[in-house]
């Protein structure tokens, strides 16, 4: 049933006394447009689209036809303003609605906006207020349609959106991989009643059933039984109660289990079966608990019956009954496990509360065609799961109100799976899930905290001529430190916590304070230096015997030929002999190479290796980051470098000319690599060229992520482990070498 409870609880007077820090909440209002609002029984969700102006580092090649002078830099770096699209979603208590509307009106500059899309039960109630305050026409959208649209959007765009809840596990939240195909699924929306919706495609969904026993029943009946008014308080009562004093259990009837049917003694035979008496008093807590079980079990049972009838195994739960409440997530999970004997898992969504607002927004933004883009959750601007959960953090709630935010950046490119993944649905990029591994989590959180000073320094140094660099850097420090602290207490805040998510969060925070590329100057200098040695390195390699050269090339990849890391074999992971054997065989058709660092690594490590592949007759696709991350070489930098190398090296030059060497961008701005979110153009090239070798290098891409990734072609994963803790974990020492050469099972068979 639709979420009609939303009319239920609103306070008589608006709270106008609160002081908001609204510029931190309603961000980028100046350019905001396409407002949408979802007003529920207690929470309002506001959505808008805005453009964000932020600085990006651009590299531009000098005109090298002119005579070069010693000491000229290779290319110029300029910080430019770039405009990107961002979606803002804010959730707050209905109490604040008037204050918020006032604030928005005061800061809204864009006057094109004439309409606000609205959904939710409260949309009627607040229609006049909204129209009066914002002078926008309220355009009501169907609740269920918005909900489904929102659900499709988050499932498609936010990795780790869905999770399984396990109260007693080490990690309560077990995040699910984004399945390449999100359909079909069942959405059980538990508002005041229950709606069961089968979603088959973007535009096709059907309400296949429902029940009148839902959140409203828990709330209404609970209020009558316990004289408790608030929904949250009822849940609190329930979490403290013992249902066995109110419910008639199987053992109350049987004296034990009803074993021939497999019904255990503790199973509830009759909810409230013991309260059929006038001579006993029951505690509020016990009654609330019994009621909670009764309703959760009933909903779970119906959900299972519908899932079975329609043969669906993905079942998502939402609605105010579920929203952020561990108590109800637990009872629903228990019920689903019981009724399906573990065959179906109850799935919950991190951004479930936003679905209606997102959907309403999408309805209003159809002309912008937001579904043609990929979007990414901005960790800097999003609050994370349970940021305002009363159960988890009552202090925070009292202090800051319940403002919760989600920001999503429009990505320049559409992201897809690497077509070479063996099983996209089971691919997990990250090697260690820090949500589950408490030891590793502690180590990495401290590690990132310790590194923060250095990052701040680097950020300031990267912008000697820009204003307030020190202040901005300090703000960055505060923000990131706060994120780390949040993650210490709520490691599940942004899905599975991983080294990758920690790195990405740092990048997002840096961008937030206009440090788009703290390493730009370092990279420039390193590239410059390395280029000078390129020809020398190539020449010395040419002098080696074939076998010696192959080893030197691999060493170069590992250490940029400079340090003596990895000289001593066997390495920690050592498949070099197999690789060498393979090289004696026929050349690969096409190698896809995910590159890592600027400077020595790319110029003196990767290029000579690529050169050798080209000489063998293998085409090469070099995939580099679309945006900056640490000292990783970006696509625009790599283009300049390649041009320069081509000018010095005929092999590279010919390969470029004959289209045997291609540069593509990965679509990522992370020091790690998620093979399930790559630029669509890259995927196309990979398929067209019949890629049969993937090389992934560096700690971020080959160790923190993708170490266990299974591809359906040959792959090389190589890195030097430059972190002693991680090296020890893998059974080695700092500067241990990983050289992993993998051949998928099938092609191995073919060879034999």
CA 485 to chain CA mean position, Å: 19
Taking the C-alpha atoms of residue 352 and residue 44, their distance in angstroms, rounded to an integer, is 13
* Among 77, 166, 305, 681, contact with another protein (rule: CB under 8 A): 305
Cα–Cα separations (whole angstroms), residue 582 to 555, 619, 698, 714, 741: 17, 17, 22, 10, 10
CA torsion sign for 296, 297, 302, 304 is: positive
Residue with Cβ nearer another protein (297 or 669): 297
Q: Between 187 and 592, name the residue whose CB sits nearer to another protein.
A: 187
Options 129, 223, 461, 522; binder of another protein; rule CB under 8 A: 223
Among 519, 613, 517, 630, CA closest to 557: 613
- Burial of 638 per CB tally in 10 Å (0-12, 13-18, 19+): buried
Q: How far is the CB of 171 from another protein (least distance, A)?
A: 31
Residue pair 345/336 in contact (Cβ under 8 Å)? The answer is yes
**Rounded least distance, CB 356 to another protein, Å:** 15
The nearest distance, CB 10 to another protein, in angstroms, is 10
Tell me the residue length of the chain. 752
What is the nearest approach in angstroms of another protein to the Cβ of residue 376?
33
- Asked whether position 309 contacts another protein by CB under 8 A, the answer is yes
Interatomic CA distance for residues 157 and 170, integer angstroms? 27
Residue 124 or 183: which CB sits closer to another protein? Answer: 124
Q: Which stretch binds another protein (CB under 8 A): 180-188, 241-249, 362-370, 508-516?
A: 241-249
Which of 49, 92, 306, 375 forms a contact with another protein (CB under 8 A)? Answer: 306
Whichever of 294 and 460 has its CB closer to another protein, that residue is 294
11 contacts another protein (rule: CB under 8 A) = no
> 94 vs 42, 44, 45, 122, 549, CA distance in Å?
5, 5, 9, 9, 69
Classify 533 as helix, strand or coil.
helix
Residue from 268, 357, 510, 592 in contact with another protein (CB under 8 A): 268
Q: Is residue 25 involved in binding another protein (CB under 8 A)?
A: no
Return the number of other C-beta atoms located less than 10 Å from residue 195's C-beta: 23
Q: How many Å is the Cα radius of gyration of the chain?
A: 29
Phi, psi of 366, deg, nearest 5:
-55, -35
Binding pattern for the stretch 173-212 against another protein, x by CB under 8 A and - elsewhere = ------------------xxx-x-----------x-xxxx
Shortest Cβ distance from residue 359 to another protein (Å)? Answer: 14
Taking CB under 8 A as the criterion, the residue among 82, 102, 142, 233 binding another protein is 142
- 3-state SS, one letter per residue, for 391-451: CCCHHHHHHHCCCEEEEEEECCCCEECCCCECCCCCCCCECCCCCCCHHHHHHHHHHHHHH
For 271, residues 6+ apart whose C-beta sits below 8 A from its C-beta are 246, 247, 248, 290, 293, 294, 297
Helix pair angle (607-615, 650-657), 10° resolution: 70
Are 480 and 506 in contact, with CB atoms under 8 Å apart? yes
Q: Which stretch binds another protein (CB under 8 A): 71-79, 299-307, 496-504, 643-651?
A: 299-307
Q: Which stretch binds another protein (CB under 8 A): 214-222, 660-668, 679-687, 743-751?
A: 214-222
Q: Report the nearest approach of another protein to the CB of residue 278 (Å).
A: 4
**Which of 4, 14, 129, 529 touches another protein by CB under 8 A?**
4
Q: How many residues bind another protein (CB under 8 A)?
A: 65
Work out which of 120, 216, 364, 700 binds another protein, going by CB under 8 A. Answer: 216
Nearest distance from C-beta of residue 462 to another protein, angstroms: 55
Task: Check binding of 5 to another protein (CB under 8 A).
Answer: yes
47 vs 197 by CB, closer to another protein:
197
Please tell me whether residue 686 binds another protein under the rule CB under 8 A. Answer: no
Position among 258, 373, 443, 725 found at the interface with another protein (CB under 8 A): 258
Helix (H, G, I), strand (E, B) or coil at 92: strand
Indicate whether 342 belongs to the interface with another protein (CB under 8 A).
Answer: no
Quick note: the x/- pattern for another protein over 269-298, rule CB under 8 A, is xxxxxxxxxx---x----x------x--xx
Q: Which is nearer to another protein, 250 or 558 (CB)?
A: 250
Can you tell me the distance from the alpha carbon of 700 to that of 668, in angstroms, rounded to the nearest whole number? Answer: 13
In this structure, what token pair is assigned to residue 249?
């259990």
Least distance in angstroms from the C-beta of 434 to another protein: 40
Chain positions contacting another protein, by CB under 8 A = 1-2, 4-5, 8-9, 121, 142, 144, 191-193, 195, 207, 209-217, 219-221, 223-225, 229, 246-248, 250, 252-256, 258, 260-261, 268-278, 282, 287, 294, 297-298, 301-302, 305-306, 308-309, 339
């Amino acid at each position: 049933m639709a979420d009609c409870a939303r009319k239920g609880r609103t306070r008589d007077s608006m709270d106008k006394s609160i002081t908001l820090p609204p510029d931190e909440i309603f961000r980028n209002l100046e350019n905001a447009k396409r407002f949408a609002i979802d007003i529920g029984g207690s929470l309002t969700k506001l959505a808008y689209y805005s453009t964000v102006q932020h600085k990006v580092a651009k590299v531009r090649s000098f005109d090298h036809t002119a005579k070069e002078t010693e000491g000229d830099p290779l290319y110029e770096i300029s910080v430019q303003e770039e405009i990107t699209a961002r979606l803002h979603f804010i959730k707050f208590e209905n109490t604040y609605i008037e204050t918020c509307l006032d604030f928005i009106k005061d800061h809204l500059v864009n006057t094109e906006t004439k309409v606000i899309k609205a959904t939710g039960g409260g949309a009627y109630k607040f229609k006049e207020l909204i129209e009066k305050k914002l002078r926008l026409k309220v355009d009501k959208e169907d609740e269920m349609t918005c909900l489904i649209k929102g659900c499709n959007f988050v499932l498609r765009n936010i990795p780790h959106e869905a999770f399984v809840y396990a109260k007693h596990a080490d990690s309560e939240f077990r995040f699910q991989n984004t399945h390449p195909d999100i359909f079909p699924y069942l959405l059980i929306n538990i508002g005041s009643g229950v709606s069961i919706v089968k979603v088959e495609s973007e535009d096709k969904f059907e309400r296949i059933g429902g029940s009148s026993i839902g959140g409203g029943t828990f709330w209404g009946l609970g209020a009558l039984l316990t004289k408790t008014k608030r929904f949250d308080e009822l849940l609190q009562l329930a979490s403290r109660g013992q249902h066995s004093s109110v419910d008639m259990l199987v053992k109350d009837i049987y004296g034990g289990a009803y074993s021939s049917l497999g019904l255990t003694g503790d199973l509830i035979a009759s909810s409230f079966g013991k309260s059929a008496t006038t001579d006993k008093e029951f505690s509020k807590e016990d009654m609330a608990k019994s009621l909670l079980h009764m309703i959760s079990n009933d909903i779970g049972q119906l959900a299972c019956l519908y899932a079975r009838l329609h043969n669906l195994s993905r079942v998502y739960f939402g609605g105010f009954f579920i929203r952020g409440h561990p108590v109800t997530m637990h009872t629903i999970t228990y019920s689903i496990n019981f009724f399906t004997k573990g065959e179906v898992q109850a799935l919950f969504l991190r951004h479930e509360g936003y679905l209606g607002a997102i959907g309403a927004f999408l309805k209003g933004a159809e002309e912008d065609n937001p579904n043609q883009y990929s979007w990414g959750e901005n960790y800097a601007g999003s609050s994370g799961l349970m940021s305002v959960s009363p159960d988890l953090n009552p202090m925070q709630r009292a202090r800051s109100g319940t403002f919760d935010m989600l920001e999503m950046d429009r990505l320049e490119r559409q992201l897809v799976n690497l077509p070479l993944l063996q099983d996209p649905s089971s691919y997990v990029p990250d090697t260690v899930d820090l949500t589950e591994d408490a030891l590793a989590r502690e180590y990495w959180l401290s590690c990132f905290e310790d590194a923060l000073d250095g990052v701040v320094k680097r950020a300031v140094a990267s912008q000697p001529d820009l204003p307030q660099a020190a202040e901005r850097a300090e703000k960055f420090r505060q923000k990131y430190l706060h994120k780390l602290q949040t993650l210490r207490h709520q490691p599940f805040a942004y899905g599975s916590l991983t080294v990758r998510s920690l790195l990405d969060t740092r990048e997002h925070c840096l961008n937030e304070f206009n440090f788009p590329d703290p390493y730009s100057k370092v990279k420039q200098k390193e590239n410059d230096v390395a280029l000078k040695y390129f020809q020398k390195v190539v020449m010395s390699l040419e002098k080696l015997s074939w076998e010696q050269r192959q080893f030197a090339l691999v060493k170069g990849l590992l250490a940029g030929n400079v340090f003596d890391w990895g000289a001593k074999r066997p390495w920690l992971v050592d498949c070099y002999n197999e690789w060498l054997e393979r090289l004696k065989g026929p050349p690969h058709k096409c190698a896809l190479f995910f590159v890592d660092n600027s400077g020595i690594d790319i110029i003196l490590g990767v290029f000579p290796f690529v050169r050798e592949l080209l000489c063998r007759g293998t085409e090469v696709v070099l995939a580099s980051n679309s945006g900056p991350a640490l000292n990783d070489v970006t696509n625009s930098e790599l283009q300049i470098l390649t041009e320069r190398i081509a000018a010095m090296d005929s092999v590279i030059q010919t390969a470029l000319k004959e289209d045997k060497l291609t540069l593509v961008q990965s679509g990522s701005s992370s020091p790690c690599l998620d093979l399930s979110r790559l630029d669509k153009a890259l995927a196309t090239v990979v398929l067209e060229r019949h890629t049969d070798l993937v090389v992934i290098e560096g700690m971020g891409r080959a160790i923190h992520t993708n170490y266990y990734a299974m591809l359906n072609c040959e792959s090389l994963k190589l890195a030097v482990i430059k972190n002693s803790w991680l090296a020890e974990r893998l059974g080695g020492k700092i500067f241990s070498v990983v050289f992993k050469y993998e051949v998928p099972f099938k092609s191995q068979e073919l060879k034999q």
